[in-house]
Chains A and B, each alone.
Chain A
Amino acid sequence: MKSLLLKDLLNIAHNARTMALLLFLFALFFPPREYLFISALLCSMMIVTTFAFDDACHWPRFALTMPVDKRDIVRGKFAALLLFCTAGTGLGLVIGALSGLAFRRLAPSELPELLFLALPAWGLALLLGNLAIPLVFRFGSERGRLLLILSFLVPAGLFLGAYRLLALLGVEWSEQVVLALLGGLSLLALLFGLLMEQVSVRVFSRREV
C-alpha cells in the first residue's frame, strides 16, 4: 500500500505547482472562511485526478502484478484522500488566515473561529472524497466525476431543505447545537469513510481492471 500511496503523491506532485497557483489566486478573491472550505474541497478532489492518471497508463492492471491486491489499491486511495484533505485544510487555514489578515478581511480575534472551522472543512472535504472514491471505482474517473456532483447536490439539497423546514416549524438552533453538528461532521466523515472503503472493495473486486 505504501507504494500505491507514493505513486499517487508522485503523480499529483506534478500538478502541485498549478494547484498552488490556483490557491494563491483564490486567496485574493475569497474571504478566509469560504477560502478554507474551497481549499479543502479542491485538494480533496485531487483524488479523482489520481484515478484519471491511473487510467491513462492502465496502472491498476499493472499494480496487480506486484505484491498488491485490490484491497490494497482501495486502501491506498483512501490514504491518499486523507492526506489530500489534511493538506488542503492546512493550506486553506494558513493561506486564508494570512491573506485575511493582510486584506483586513479577518480580525486577529476571529482566528480561533477560523481554526475551529477547519474541522468541518476537513470533514466536508473528506465526506465528498469518500463519496467520490466508490463512484469512480464503479464508473471510472470521467463519469464518476459527474455522478459525484449529482450525488453531492442531492444530499446537500435535502439537508438544506430539512434545515429550512425545521426553521419554518420554529425549531431554534442554539450555538451549541450548531457547533456540535459542525464538529460531529468530521467524525461522521471518518465513519462514513470506513463504510465507503468496504463498499469500494466490493465494487472494485467485481470490476475488471
Chain B
Amino acid sequence: MEAILQVEHLTKRYPGFALEDVSFSLPKGTVLGLIGENGAGKSTTLCALLGLIGRESGEVRFEGQALDGNKRLKEGIGVVLDGVNFYETLTPAQVGRICRAAYRSWQEETYRQYLHRFALTPNKEIKALSLFLRVKLQIAAALSHAPRLLILDEATSGLDPVMRDEILEVFWDFVQDEEHSILLSSHISTDLERIADNILFLHKGRVRFCKPKDELLEKYGVLRCGEADFARIDKADVLAWRREDYQWSVLVPDREAARRKYRPAVLDPATLDDILLLYVKGDQDR
C-alpha cells in the first residue's frame, strides 16, 4: 500500500532522554496509533517529525516529498497538540480568521459546519469554553483546511468516555475518504484498540514494534502460571514476563500455540494495556 507518511531514522537527543532511530511508515487510508508509557517519546516523535523541534537526524516524507523546509506541504496536514493553542481571549470566529489567513486551502464553510456540529458558539471567548469544547475547536481548525493527514498528540486525554466517543466518531468520519490517514498518540489504549489499524509501540525512545492491531489482539496472549510452570516455559516462546504476588504473567506472541504447548496454563487474549504493562514493567530475555 502507498505510504502517505514515511519517517526514517528519526533521532532526537535531550540530556537524560533520547529518541533513537525511529522509523515507520503510515499507509494511505489507515490509522496508526502510537502507544508507550509516559516519557516513551510519543510527543517527541510527533513534534520531531513535524519539525516543531530540531533533530539530530532523520528524514520525513509526506506524500513522497521531504517535509523539511517545504512549509506549503503542511497545508495537507491537520495537527492537534495537547491543549488549546490560541490565546484564551480569542473566539472561535477569530481562530477561523487567523487560520483562513494561514492556509490557502482553508474552507470557511467546512469550519462553520464543524463549529455548528460541535456546538461551538462563534463569538464566545476560549477561556469560557470547557476542555471538551476547546479540544473540539482545535479539531475543527485542523480539519477545515482539507488535510489528507491528521496528526493528534493526546487529543482525547482528560475527556470522559462519552466525549472521547464523540471525538472518535469525527475521526471515523474523516477516514471515510480512502485518501485520508490518521496518526495519533494516546495513553488511553482502548481508544486505539477501536480505531487504529496499526500500532506503533515506543519504549524508552525506541520502536519496539509496529504491527497490525488485529494481529496483536487476535494472536497475542497473556499466560498465567505458577513458579514451577514458569521455569519449564521455553523463553523463545515468550516476549516478556512479570512476576506478581501469586502468579507469573507471561506475554506470548501466539496464544493458541502457547495454549497447546503449555496445557493447562491459563491464557487470556492480550489487551494493548497488557502488552504495554508487560513490556514496560516486566523482564525480557536479552
The short answer to whether A and B are in direct contact, CB under 8 Å, is: yes
Give residues in A with beta carbon < 8 Å to B: 2-4, 6-7, 10-11, 14, 53-54, 56-59, 61-62, 64-69, 72, 208-209
Interfacial residues of chain B within 49-76, with CB under 8 A of chain A in the complex: 50-54, 69, 71-75
Taking a contact as CB atoms under 8 Å apart, the answer to whether B88 and A68 are in contact is no
Q: Contact mask B235-268 → A, CB, 8 Å, 1/0? A: 0000000000000000000000000000000000
Distance, CA A3 to CA B54, complexed state (A): 24
**Shortest distance between the CB of A49 and any CB in chain B (Å):** 11
B89 interface residue per 8 A CB criterion: yes
Taking a contact as CB atoms under 8 Å apart, the answer to whether B79 and A65 are in contact is yes
Taking a contact as CB atoms under 8 Å apart, the answer to whether A6 and B97 are in contact is yes
Interfacial residues of chain B within 140-166, with CB under 8 A of chain A in the complex: 151
Residues of A within 8 A of B102 (CB): 2-4, 66-68
Distance, CA A11 to CA B89, complexed state (A): 7
A-B contact pairs, 8 of them (CB 8 A): A2-B102, A3-B100, A7-B86, A57-B88, A61-B81, A65-B81, A67-B71, A69-B69
**Shortest distance between the CB of A205 and any CB in chain B (Å):** 9
Residues of A within 8 A of B51 (CB): 64
B121 interface residue per 8 A CB criterion: no
Taking a contact as CB atoms under 8 Å apart, the answer to whether A11 and B87 are in contact is yes
Taking a contact as CB atoms under 8 Å apart, the answer to whether B53 and A209 are in contact is yes
**Shortest distance between the CB of B243 and any CB in chain A (Å):** 41
Taking a contact as CB atoms under 8 Å apart, the answer to whether B72 and A61 are in contact is no
Interface of A: prevailing SS: helix
Residues of A within 8 A of B100 (CB): 3
Taking a contact as CB atoms under 8 Å apart, the answer to whether A209 and B52 are in contact is yes
Distance, CA A36 to CA B67, complexed state (A): 48
B228 interface residue per 8 A CB criterion: no
**Shortest distance between the CB of B195 and any CB in chain A (Å):** 21
Q: Which of B69, B85, B87, B99 has the largest count of A CB atoms less than 10 A from its CB?
A: B87
B24 interface residue per 8 A CB criterion: no
Distance, CA A11 to CA B126, complexed state (A): 12
B129 interface residue per 8 A CB criterion: no
Residues of B within 8 A of A66 (CB): 74, 99, 102-103
B18 interface residue per 8 A CB criterion: no
B1 interface residue per 8 A CB criterion: no
**Shortest distance between the CB of A12 and any CB in chain B (Å):** 10
Taking a contact as CB atoms under 8 Å apart, the answer to whether A61 and B86 are in contact is no
Distance, CA A68 to CA B74, complexed state (A): 8
Residue of A nearest to B73 (CB): A67
Residue of B nearest to A54 (CB): B87
Residue of A nearest to B90 (CB): A10
Residues of A within 8 A of B122 (CB): none
Residues of A within 8 A of B103 (CB): 66-67
Question: Provided the pairs A10-B90, A10-B97, A69-B71 are in contact, do residues A61 and B47 lie with their beta carbons within 8 angstroms?
Answer: yes
Q: Contact mask B203-219 → A, CB, 8 Å, 1/0? A: 00000000000000000
Distance, CA A56 to CA B98, complexed state (A): 18
Distance, CA A14 to CA B244, complexed state (A): 57
Residues of A within 8 A of B89 (CB): 11, 14
B84 interface residue per 8 A CB criterion: yes
Residues of B within 8 A of A56 (CB): 87-88
Residues of A within 8 A of B99 (CB): 3, 66
Question: Provided the pairs A3-B101, A69-B71, A208-B54 are in contact, do residues A53 and B87 lie with their beta carbons within 8 angstroms?
Answer: yes
Taking a contact as CB atoms under 8 Å apart, the answer to whether A6 and B101 are in contact is yes
Taking a contact as CB atoms under 8 Å apart, the answer to whether A11 and B101 are in contact is no
Q: Which of B75, B98, B104 has the largest count of A CB atoms less than 10 A from its CB?
A: B98
**Shortest distance between the CB of A192 and any CB in chain B (Å):** 28
Taking a contact as CB atoms under 8 Å apart, the answer to whether B94 and A65 are in contact is no
Question: Provided the pairs A11-B89, A67-B71, A209-B53 are in contact, do residues A57 and B77 lie with their beta carbons within 8 angstroms?
Answer: no
Distance, CA A7 to CA B94, complexed state (A): 8
Residues of B within 8 A of A62 (CB): 79, 81, 85
Known contacts A57-B83, A62-B79, A65-B151; 19 further A-B pairs (Cβ under 8 A)? A3-B100, A6-B97, A11-B90, A54-B87, A57-B84, A57-B88, A61-B47, A61-B81, A62-B81, A64-B52, A65-B74, A65-B79, A65-B81, A67-B71, A67-B103, A68-B71, A68-B74, A69-B71, A208-B54
Distance, CA A7 to CA B83, complexed state (A): 18
Distance, CA A53 to CA B84, complexed state (A): 13
**Shortest distance between the CB of B197 and any CB in chain A (Å):** 23
Q: Which of A14, A54, A72 has the largest count of B CB atoms less than 10 A from its CB?
A: A14
Residues of A within 8 A of B84 (CB): 57
Residues of A within 8 A of B83 (CB): 57-58
Distance, CA A66 to CA B103, complexed state (A): 7
Question: Provided the pairs A67-B74, A208-B53 are in contact, do residues A57 and B98 lie with their beta carbons within 8 angstroms?
Answer: no
